[in-house]
């Protein structure tokens, strides 16, 4: 939901927002929000190549797998920009379940041409913390970088009803700071 709020806020400032969702079920939710709030929703994933790929639907955490039961189309940001004839790219926000590096590789020309501000999830793989920054820095050395850490709301993820009841009994919330919400900001 917070990703939708980001899109709504950016759209309200007059920006043209494009959201990419590979999972059919999640896409329907995204499309409904897009119609309501005035951004573009695309039923495809982002990568460094254009191709169809298998994935397993995992609700908020779907990911590509060679043996997945679903099929989605993937496109690079650079190919999408060219096909949609976009005049420029000012901001890229990525949370693509460990495929951030692939998506950045597929956005290299756009990054070099426009140097968009970027918010890149850097918590899916242990080496994301340095690998993503090193890749962007090698591509465009004038970027400045910051990492920010956000607590994750684990209410819907792995807490059992018993765990929730115990936390409630002691007046404790469900937000647990972990390494799972680290974002690399590039500007």
Supply the DSSP string of 93-148, one letter for each residue.
EE--TT-HHHHHHTTHHHHHHH--EEEEE--SSTTHHHHHHHHHHHH-TT--EEEE
Does residue 63 or residue 47 have the better pLDDT?
A: 47
- Residue 7 in domain: yes
Does residue 108 or residue 126 have the better pLDDT?
A: 108
- Residue 104 in domain: yes
- Residue 167 in domain: no
- Residue 157 in domain: no
pLDDT value of residue 167: 79
Mean model confidence pLDDT for the chain:
87
- Residue 174 in domain: no
- Residue 76 in domain: yes
| Domain CATH for 87 | 3.40.50.150
pLDDT tens readout for residues 12-43: 899 999 999 999 999 999 999 999 999 999 99
Query: Where in the sequence is the domain holding 71, given as residue range(s)?
Result: 2-151+182-186
CA distance 53 to 74: 7
Q: What pTM did the predictor assign?
A: 0.82
- Residue 161 in domain: no
- Residue 163 in domain: no
- Weakest mean pLDDT among 82-91, 158-167, 170-179: 170-179
Q: What is the number of structural domains in the chain? A: 1
pLDDT value of residue 176: 58
């Amino acid at each position: 939901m917070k990703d939708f709020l980001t899109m709504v806020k950016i759209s309200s400032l007059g920006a043209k927002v494009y959201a990419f969702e590979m999972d059919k079920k999640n896409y329907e939710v995204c499309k409904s929000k897009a119609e309501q709030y005035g951004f573009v929703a695309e039923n495809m994933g982002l990568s460094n190549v254009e191709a169809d790929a298998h994935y397993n639907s995992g609700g908020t955490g779907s990911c590509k797998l060679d043996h997945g039961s679903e099929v989605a189309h993937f496109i690079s940001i650079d190919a999408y920009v060219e096909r949609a004839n976009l005049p420029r790219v000012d901001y890229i926000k990525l949370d693509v379940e460990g495929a951030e590096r692939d998506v950045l590789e597929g956005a290299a020309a756009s990054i070099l041409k426009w140097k968009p501000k970027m918010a890149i999830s850097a918590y899916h793989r242990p080496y994301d913390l340095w690998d993503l920054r090193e890749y962007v820095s090698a591509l465009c050395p004038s970027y400045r970088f910051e990492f920010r850490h956000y607590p994750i709301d684990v209410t819907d993820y792995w807490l059992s009803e018993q765990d929730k009841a115990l936390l409630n009994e002691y007046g404790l919330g469900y937000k647990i700071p972990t390494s799972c919400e680290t974002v690399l900001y590039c500007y």
